[in-house]
Structure 1
């Protein structure tokens, strides 16, 4: 029987390769609203929302080259999930005040803002609508769209609230990748890791997958082109994202599925590490709560 990912998973920290750690720290603190948790060394920093849990790791790679947009398999964006619509409105006003170029979309299940860091790493900041407001297609998949957001409504929702960075309760909501071969991507993420397909946008070259009925934990697209090569270790982009599993039993089931499919993994002190067919790192971690 194919492996099925536990419905109680969540996503944890994402690690990025950057060209200038000081510049990236300033951006992620002053524009995005994360806080420095610790520096592992002079080239690697962990960022947090709550002062305890790492949400983002930045690693400066000597001689790194900024990866041109839509040129390789790898990061399209990582997505920061805010607790409320008011939080998104406050963030929108802050980004406008900062003069940041913003993309936007109302996905029916969520409202989202899009921007890039100084190394062209894509970022989404969004809020979810309650699941009771989500609608399903006739095949049971989640109905999503890319409609314009209600700018005025979001800014009105913010009221006079001052921006103080990312609010408590902010999490890593999902990740979205360029891939060079959708069949390989689907085989790895659905057949091996066990995600479910929740929205099939293959008419637009995209597939959205999740566990537990979420609208998506991972997005996959062909927008960098079929056969798009992986980013080298000397290119900016994603090193890994993290899947947080509820217990050791679920981790063992998942690593067994990985082994049976012929993929290798590395057990380190903090987690299990492997790579997808496009060189994107997947970090498997058991929840500590």
Structure 2
């Protein structure tokens, strides 16, 4: 299948480029993302693999057999959200998942998108979703977007799927957003909005949704399982870090300037900036090449 035009999420001033998970059983987890999600290997190293779509890296898996399994209430990953090009591809993936006996954890109509939830073999959350056209999203006067959590008719979606052969995640697929577990929302707002410059696009009880350029969210943070969580410790499974790519160099420069002004620890190298959020989750800010 040929690549499609970039999704709206990826044309904004910044977007999520890649997620990095630490796992205990690399072959098991990698096999799941390949067979069930349809990612393909791009690069292999002694300690990990890079998986992606049509040569575009999306997911780095590294293994550490000594790593301690992250508690459910630890700060870290709520889910990595894989954005498919359209509803047709979401239906096609659902048909594949059903025929492969993939255990789903839920499905929701969020008004701006339709989403299906599951987890990998080590419990890392996954969302597979397709956006509705941003032209029909309802925006409030304050610029926030109308979102909800309604039941998604999986049977109807399944029945709409083409009866052709599924050949893996479609070209043009990407990480549309990353959803984090954090210790408290005001601190998340202070970091992602006030330091990095993302806008709050929606709020749920116990959660904030951040984005650039009017997307519904590129990053979300909630305390549903993790209220009061402290910084992650070394040697823990789950989300190690992720990348925010900036299409707008001015926005990246503004974020770096704020880091300097506030004396927030960060490391400038290879054209990017590496740092950690208040809960020890790694983050790399980089400009699109």
Say whether 1:205 aligns with 2:206: yes
**Is residue 72 from structure 1 mapped to residue 74 from structure 2 by the alignment?**
yes
Match of 1:45 in 2: 49
Distance 1:231 1:252 in 2: 27
Q: How does 1:24-173 map to 2 (within 5 A)?
A: 24-39=29-44, 41-51=45-55, 53-69=56-72, 71-102=73-104, 103-137=106-140, 139-173=142-176
State the partner residue of 1:227.
228
Q: Any conservation in 2 of the 1:121–1:236 contact (CA below 8 Å)?
A: no
TM-score, length-scaled by structure 2: 0.91
Asked if 2 retains the 8 angstrom alpha-carbon contact of 1:238 and 1:280, the reply is: yes
Deviation at 1:7, TM superposition (A): 4.6
- 1:219 aligns to what SS in structure 2? strand
SS of residue matched to 1:185: helix
Bigger mean CA deviation after superposition, 178-187 or 138-147: 138-147
Aligned-residue offset at 1:50: 1.1
Which stretch of structure 1 is more off in the superposition, 131-140 or 23-32? 131-140
Instruction: Give the Cα–Cα distance (whole angstroms) in 2 for the partners of residues 236 and 81 of structure 1.
Output: 24
Corresponding residue of 1:3: none
> 1:16 maps to which residue?
21
- Change in Cα spacing, 1:174 to 1:161, as seen in structure 2 (3 Å) is same
Q: Which moved more, 1:58-67 or 1:168-177?
A: 58-67
| 3-state SS of paired residue (1:101) | coil
Structure 1 residue 68: deviation in Å? 3.2
Query: Structure 2: where are the runs of 5+ without partners?
Result: 1-10
Structure 1 runs (4+) deviating above 4 angstroms are none
Match of 2:6 in 1: none
More moved, 212-221 vs 260-269: 260-269
The alpha-carbon deviation at position 170 of structure 1 amounts to 0.2
Q: How many residues align?
A: 278
The alpha carbon displacement at 1:150 in A equals 2.1
CA contact (8 A) 2:14 2:248 kept: no
Q: Distance in 2 between matches of 1:155 and 1:83?
A: 17
* 1:215-273 deviation line (CA, Å, top 9, x unaligned): 01111111124211333222211111111112544433221111112211112336321
| Aligned partners of 2:21 and 2:239 also within 8 Å | yes
Name 1:181's counterpart in structure 2: 184
Structure 2 distance, partners of 1:195, 1:156, is 38
